[in-house]
Amino acid sequence: MGHCREAPAAAGRPPRSPRYDSPMTLRERALELLLLTDADRKARETQALAHYLPIDAAAVIAEPAGVPGHPARPVLVPHTQLRRGSLATREGHAALLHAVAHIEFNAINLALDAIWRFAGLPDDYYRDWAQVAREEAYHFQLMRDHLATLGFGYGDFPAHDALWRMTERTAGDVVARMALVPRTLEARGLDASPPMQAKLRGMGDTRGVAILEIILRDEIGHVAIGNRWYRWLCERAGLDPVAHYAVLTERHEAPRPQPPFNVDARRQAGFTADELARLRA
């Protein structure tokens, strides 16, 4: 995870930007996808986000209106207003799956935003996050299709946008973005996966358990990418990663991870022994 092999160029010319008389860059295409409001189309086209597009890391792209593109449904409410039904009911089961699908939809937006927003980084940074975006789109499609087997679609339940709120808070600081989105908020998904799998297993939802296993496997790689670039950025700026993380957590009012922790998954994702000890303390 974290390194992508270059795909061969497709036959013919690469797609052209509607804004410039030149081939569309990876960063421009990521922004275009981020602005899409149709969830199915966003997932489908993000899965096709091409390696061969030029990156143009130096370009500073102005933020347009409408970031991020979001469908009319689900209705977004504060997370404190969300009510989960009993998992013994079909509706409660579907609501749980819908919550995961919504997290994966947000994760598509988070990865696309990391590509277009931050200029001046190594090409591998943009390729890493393009890989993440493609995999998040796949996760969304898996969970959306499984949700449909219960007779529900994405948007049928309310949802919250806490993940995107942290993206907005860190829009002006790529170090904070890497610290507080992939290695804080998304790392919480590593902790949440085993208990959620246990719930689905208890309900006899073997397909849901298998999908969460795929998501957990890939999310370990996504958090590892966040860890990698956070440490690289700290080294470039002469910052101590552990001490600066504490500063960023306070500055941006990031949530404190709560136990139980998936220590093995966090270790695989690149958290150091010191970080894990501090987390458990």
Residue 12 is assigned to a structural domain of this protein: no
Residue 6 is assigned to a structural domain of this protein: no
Residue 127 is assigned to a structural domain of this protein: yes
Structural contact between residues 240 and 234, judged by C-beta atoms closer than 8 angstroms:
yes
CATH code for the domain of 213: 1.20.1260
Residue 31 is assigned to a structural domain of this protein: yes
Span 152-170, pLDDT tens digits: 999 999 998 888 999 999 9
Residue 155 is assigned to a structural domain of this protein: yes
Residue 218 is assigned to a structural domain of this protein: yes
Span 226-271, pLDDT tens digits: 999 999 999 999 999 999 999 999 999 999 888 999 999 999 999 9
Neighbours of 90 (CB within 10 A): 12
Supply the pTM of this predicted model.
Answer: 0.90
Q: State how far the Cα of 39 lies from the Cα of 102, in Å rounded to an integer.
A: 10
Residue 3 is assigned to a structural domain of this protein: no
Q: What is the dihedral of CA 120, 124, 126, 130, to 10 degrees?
A: 180
What domain count does the chain have? Answer: 1
Domain limits at 157?
26-280
Q: What is the dihedral of CA 94, 146, 1, 161, to 10 degrees?
A: -30
Residue 20 is assigned to a structural domain of this protein: no
Q: State how far the Cα of 253 lies from the Cα of 50, in Å rounded to an integer.
A: 35
